[in-house]
Amino acid sequence: MNFELLLFIVFALVAAVSSLMMITRKNAVISAVFLVLNFFALAGLYLLLNAQFIAVVQIIVYAGAIMVLFLFVLMLLNTGKEEAILHGKKPIKYFAIFIAAVVFLQVAYLLVFGSGSFTSNPDIEASLSSGTVETIGREIYTKYIIPFEAAGFLLLAATIGALILAKKKFE
Amino acid sequence: MNSIPIEYYLILSAFMFSIGVTGVLIRRNAIVVFMSIELMLNSANLTLVAFSSYLGNPIGQVFVFFVMTVAAAEAAVGLAIIIAIFRNKLTVNIDEINIFKW
Amino acid sequence: MGNIIINDLWSFLKPEIFIAGGIFIILLADLVIRDNRKAIHFTALIILIAAFASALLQMGTESFIFYLGKGNNHGLLAVDPMSTFIKLITIFSTILIVIFTITSEEFKGSKFKSGEFYTLLFGMLLGMLLLSSGADLIIIYVSLELLSLSSYVLAGFIAGSNRSSEASLKYVIYGATSSGIMLFGISILYGLTGTTNLYAIHTILVSPHVNYLTLGLSILMIFIGIGFKISAVPFHFWTPDVYEGSPLPVTAYLSVASKAAGFALLIRFIKVGFISSVGTNGFWNFYENFDWQLFLIILSIASMTVGNLTALWQNNVKRMLAYSSIAHAGYMLLAIAVLSEKGMLAFLVYIAIYMFMNLGAFYAVMLVANKKGNEEISSFAGLGYKNPYLAFGLSIFLISLTGIPPTGGFIGKLYLFIALLDGDMYWPALIALLNTVISLYYYVRIIKEMYLTKALDDTTIETSKTELTFMFALVAPILVFGIYFTPLVNFCTNFVRILGF
């Protein structure tokens, strides 16, 4: 067993278990903390995949910014614990789990089954260079400048929208 | 390069995706529902990065960059909406927020 | 290099540039002349008219911009007749929505922030414009999200209203989930083909090296995102609640413009994802062993049946129109499902008329709701005597939505049935016909309420001359196109083509 595979197994297990814990905890704050753990594990996987830039951004943006926002709102609203998740009167929840299991099996089967047709041609050089800040920066600022600008407008709209919705009303 | 077959990554991301879908379906706390949606986006990101790395082309990672921007914006707007609702109804439980039938 | 990009931008992206610049102008104007709301309405109108004119001037251009590969057959955005048509529709309906906003009672008072409202409205419009010509999954995803995010906020725009913020929450939860599923589908598609450009994907799909099952899964997932935008059954759950809870101008906008942009994406996606080439007889050919026509037909039939049958039980007119818009999405989807150039023409004619009649119906409902404060069907009782002009206008819109001659709605349906029969789709045509008959019941129910039911109270419903004039400006095209429709059809014929096919 080589070191890379070992690292993969560790990160993948952490990611899988923490995502499972995330949706089963009654206390939303603990859920959020497990999600942060999941994001860190993903960042590790990205490093294994030679995607250094994305790995760093994952930690800064997701774990750093987005999850802090979530935790902040959770603490601000102080919503308390959710009642037992699976003991609601609704059998629909079991149905939901069943659906999810079917979705997982289907997706996994099709992905693995279809992987023969993924035009995969592992090329170490290309893979290493494609994950650097330089390559991604060049792509974004030349070919993908229009989506980049659109993303700017997206953030502007989100800022204004969040202000409009959450601003305290003076009456 | 990689001794790990790409299928492993794909199965992990399929697993996280279905966990995210389950979370959206069974959780009643709107904030946790949003966290589950973030999980779904992350599983898609994992697929994109895995393919990008195995194909040796950077487009997938550029895509992930944009997905992160969108996720941040979506989280901000979603949480702002939740705060607005909380101010009116003092709850974030989506079962209790129903003037309309769900 | 730099010059080429700037030339490209200016010669092909004028509408987008006007709208993007407009966002900043409105933001600045809002700071400077905050108290003068009229001036802001007026600025928004001017910008929109400029964008509309530039989109008109763009008619007939066919080009990619921002080439990605070495050849010139891949680009980030495709400016082509179909996208220009959708741009015209979306910009024009935005102009109408600005007029809605000026007269809306929900948007009066000091709480309404017009600067922010127009910024978000323009953000939504910019998303639609980019979406209608997006030829790369990255720009498609980003502009779809720009469109959705702005509309989530607009749905909850009335501060302190339970209904409005609840609509917004439902919209954002359903919307974010479906776009998450769509993103997963996109990631699989990227893995299968190694590119995000739709046209490059097309060249790869033509060669049969792709696993069609996995491809089918990814296309199905992407379809969930698109189906959500056009509110086709079974992705329609959000529609009635969001339409009912949102401010009325926003509802009207969602039902027309956002749907049109969704259809533009759908058409480009179908042509790239399902179709290998367009035959000489105008029919579209499939890839081998990859026939999705039945899937589209089932979706469209489900949409129109569910929409029409559920609309029968509604007592809130806004909610009824929401279900009716699901049904109309079904008709338009059926026109596309013929998968021929005639079907495309039917779709374009239909959506052009749909814009006038649906916005008109919403406007008339808004005029009533302005006075009554709600949209319950009982509020319309006796309207035929209280305000005969308004009742007459609303009746025309409803008759046209049903599809009875001599209104424009009939022409839309006529071309739909011609395309269906041309494609030998007799069963779907029959079901669509039956659906039209069902829809007659609930549209006529409102007309009956207006003319045959006695009003419960004697509140008057007065409308100003300007409001009536504007409403009749919407009635006029419906009546004119109902009788003299050749110009409209000829106009639409110019826009059937899509780049590369």
Q: Are residues A55 and A9 in the same domain?
A: yes
Residue C247 lies in a domain: no
A103 contacts on C by Cβ (under 8 Å): none
Query: Tokens at residue C71, please?
Result: 């050849």
C136 contacts on A by Cβ (under 8 Å): 147
CB-based contact C166 B60, cutoff 8 Å: no
Given a contact cutoff of 8 angstroms between Cβ atoms, the answer to whether C251 and C215 are in contact is no
pLDDT score of A118? 54
The Cα–Cα gap between C387 and C376 comes to 17
Closest A-chain CA to C165: A165
CA distances from residue C35 to A48, C23, C29, C426 in whole angstroms, order as listed = 57, 18, 10, 59
At C164, the pLDDT band (50, 70, 90 cuts) reads confident
Nearest to A153 among C123, C156, C160 (CB): C123
Higher pLDDT, C248 or A118: C248
pLDDT score of C456? 73
Q: Average pLDDT in the C327-343 region?
A: 91
Condensed to tens digits (0 to 9), the pLDDT of residues A106-129 reads: 777 766 766 554 545 566 777 777
The Cα–Cα gap between C134 and C55 comes to 16
Q: Which of C424, C36, B29 is nearest to A70 (CA)?
A: B29
Chain A contacts in chain B segment 8-37 (CB below 8 A): 8-12, 14-23, 25-29, 31-32, 34-36
pLDDT score of C437? 92
A150 contacts on C by Cβ (under 8 Å): 126-127, 130, 139, 142-143, 146
Query: In the 8-state DSSP scheme, what is residue B98?
Result: -
Q: Are residues A33 and A97 in the same domain?
A: yes
Size of interface A-C (CB pairs under 8 A): 99
Condensed to tens digits (0 to 9), the pLDDT of residues C105-136 reads: 878 776 778 888 999 999 999 999 999 988 89
At C1, the pLDDT band (50, 70, 90 cuts) reads very low
SS3 C197: strand
Q: Average pLDDT in the C214-231 region?
A: 88
Q: Average pLDDT in the C364-393 region?
A: 88
Residue B98 lies in a domain: no
CA distances from residue C5 to A143, C22, C79 in whole angstroms, order as listed = 10, 21, 15
The Cα–Cα gap between C226 and C228 comes to 5
Closest A-chain CA to C115: A160
Query: Tokens at residue B68, please?
Result: 């992160």
Closest CA–CA distance from residue A4 to any residue of chain C (Å): 23
At A171, the pLDDT band (50, 70, 90 cuts) reads very low
Q: Is the CB of B98 inside 8 Å of chain A's CB atoms?
A: no
Higher pLDDT, C396 or C104: C396
Chain C contacts in chain A segment 64-83 (CB below 8 A): none
Q: Are residues A59 and A102 in the same domain?
A: yes
> Which helix (H) or strand (E) element contains residue A20?
helix A3-24
Q: Are residues A110 and A137 in the same domain?
A: no
Condensed to tens digits (0 to 9), the pLDDT of residues C60-113 reads: 778 777 765 555 567 888 888 899 999 999 999 999 999 999 888 878 776 778
Nearest to C146 among A143, A150, A160 (CB): A150
pLDDT score of A121? 55
Higher pLDDT, B66 or C496: B66
Closest CA–CA distance from residue C448 to any residue of chain B (Å): 27
Q: Average pLDDT in the C369-376 region?
A: 85
Q: What percent of chain C has pLDDT above 70? A: 95
The C-alpha R_g of chain C, in whole angstroms, comes to 22
Question: What residues make up the domain containing B42?
Answer: 6-89
B88 contacts on C by Cβ (under 8 Å): 160, 162, 165
CATH code for the domain of B23: 1.10.287.3510
Q: Is the CB of A168 inside 8 Å of chain C's CB atoms?
A: no
pLDDT score of C67? 64
Q: Which of A151, C37, A104 is nearest to B16 (CA)?
A: A104
pLDDT score of C227? 92
**Total structural domains in chain B?**
1
pLDDT score of C199? 85
pLDDT tens digits in sequence order for chain B, 102 residues long: 456 788 888 889 988 998 998 888 888 888 999 999 999 999 999 999 998 888 888 899 999 999 999 999 999 999 999 988 888 877 787 777 765 554
Least confident of A162-166, C73-77, C311-315: C73-77
- Would you call C437 exposed, middle or buried from its count of C-beta atoms within 10 A (0-12, 13-18, 19+)? exposed
Nearest to A100 among B18, B27, B91 (CB): B18
**Total structural domains in chain A?**
2
Nearest to C159 among A113, A154, A169 (CB): A169
C318 contacts on B by Cβ (under 8 Å): none
Condensed to tens digits (0 to 9), the pLDDT of residues A3-26 reads: 888 999 999 999 999 999 998 888
Residue C358 lies in a domain: yes
pLDDT score of B94? 77
Q: Are residues A58 and A142 in the same domain?
A: no
pLDDT score of B102? 40
pLDDT score of B2? 55
Q: Is the per-residue pLDDT at C172 higher than 80?
A: yes
Give the best residue of C66, C164, C184 to mutate against chain B (max B CB count within 10 A): C184
Q: Are residues A99 and A155 in the same domain?
A: no
A140 contacts on B by Cβ (under 8 Å): 62, 65
Given a contact cutoff of 8 angstroms between Cβ atoms, the answer to whether C430 and C359 are in contact is no
Q: Are residues A98 and A32 in the same domain?
A: yes
Question: What residues make up the domain containing A65?
Answer: 3-116+124-131
Torsion angles phi and psi, residue C111, rounded to 5: -75, -25
Residue B45 lies in a domain: yes
Residue C212 lies in a domain: no
CB-based contact C192 A150, cutoff 8 Å: no
Q: Average pLDDT in the C377-399 region?
A: 89
Closest A-chain CA to C13: A146
Q: Are residues A42 and A102 in the same domain?
A: yes
Q: What percent of chain A has pLDDT above 90? A: 36
**Total structural domains in chain C?**
1
Given a contact cutoff of 8 angstroms between Cβ atoms, the answer to whether C123 and C150 are in contact is yes
Condensed to tens digits (0 to 9), the pLDDT of residues A32-59 reads: 999 999 999 999 999 998 899 999 999 9
At A170, the pLDDT band (50, 70, 90 cuts) reads very low
Q: Which residues of C touch B (CB under 8 A)?
A: 137-138, 141-142, 145, 149, 152-153, 156, 159-160, 162-163, 165-170, 172-173, 176-177, 180-181, 183-184, 186-188, 190-191, 194-196, 240-241, 244-245
Given a contact cutoff of 8 angstroms between Cβ atoms, the answer to whether C245 and B100 are in contact is yes
**Whole-number mean pLDDT of chain C?**
87
pLDDT score of A106? 73
Higher pLDDT, C25 or C216: C25
pLDDT score of B62? 93
Chain A contacts in chain B segment 53-72 (CB below 8 A): 53-59, 61-62, 64-66, 68-72
Residue C150 lies in a domain: no
Q: Are residues A40 and A95 in the same domain?
A: yes
The Cα–Cα gap between C155 and C169 comes to 9
CA distances from residue C124 to A159, C148, C216, C245 in whole angstroms, order as listed = 14, 7, 30, 19
Beta strands (DSSP E) in C180-279 are: 275-278
Condensed to tens digits (0 to 9), the pLDDT of residues C459-484 reads: 777 888 888 999 999 999 999 998 88
Q: Concatenate the DSSP letters of all residues of C24-93 into one string.
A: HHHHHHHHHSTT-HHHHHHHHHHHHHHHHHHHHHTTT--EEEEE-SSSSS-EEEEE-HHHHHHHHHHHHH
Q: Are residues A34 and A80 in the same domain?
A: yes
Is-above-0.80 flag for pTM? yes
Residue B58 lies in a domain: yes
Closest CA–CA distance from residue A87 to any residue of chain C (Å): 23
Give the best residue of B41, B45, B81, B94 to mutate against chain C (max C CB count within 10 A): B81
